[in-house]
């Protein structure tokens, strides 16, 4: 994926409908080096609350070392997500 143009490089696979969200994060948050995209009930709930996933388990500490930030929950209608950013 070319982050500037959003063009798929070297693959015949179609990108996710959430590609604009991911590109926005990469383009506007230089500290973001990767996106873990999930719709798990817990991650969605934390995003809807506008809160990170807390460092409450040793497994989280072992894997991430800190709380896990969540992007704000937004729908995919139009450019709603860009207006919230």
> Using one digit for the tens of pLDDT, what is the confidence trace for 3-40?
888 888 888 888 888 888 888 888 888 888 888 888 88
Percent of the chain scoring above 90 in pLDDT: 20
* 62/31 Cα distance (integer angstroms): 21
Rounded to an integer, the average pLDDT of 75-83 is 59
Whether this model's pTM surpasses 0.85 = no
Q: What is the dihedral of CA 24, 52, 67, 63, to 10 degrees?
A: -70
Indicate the SS3 state at residue 17.
Answer: coil
Average pLDDT, the chain: 83
pLDDT at 62 over 90: yes
């Amino acid at each position: 994926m070319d982050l500037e143009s959003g063009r798929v490089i070297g693959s015949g696979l179609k990108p996710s409908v959430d590609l604009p969200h991911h590109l926005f994060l990469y383009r506007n948050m230089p500290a973001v080096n990767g996106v873990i995209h999930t719709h798990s009930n817990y991650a969605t709930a934390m995003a809807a609350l506008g809160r990170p996933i807390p460092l409450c388990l040793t497994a989280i500490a072992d894997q991430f070392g800190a709380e896990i930030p969540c992007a704000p929950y937004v729908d995919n209608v139009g450019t709603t997500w860009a207006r919230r950013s």
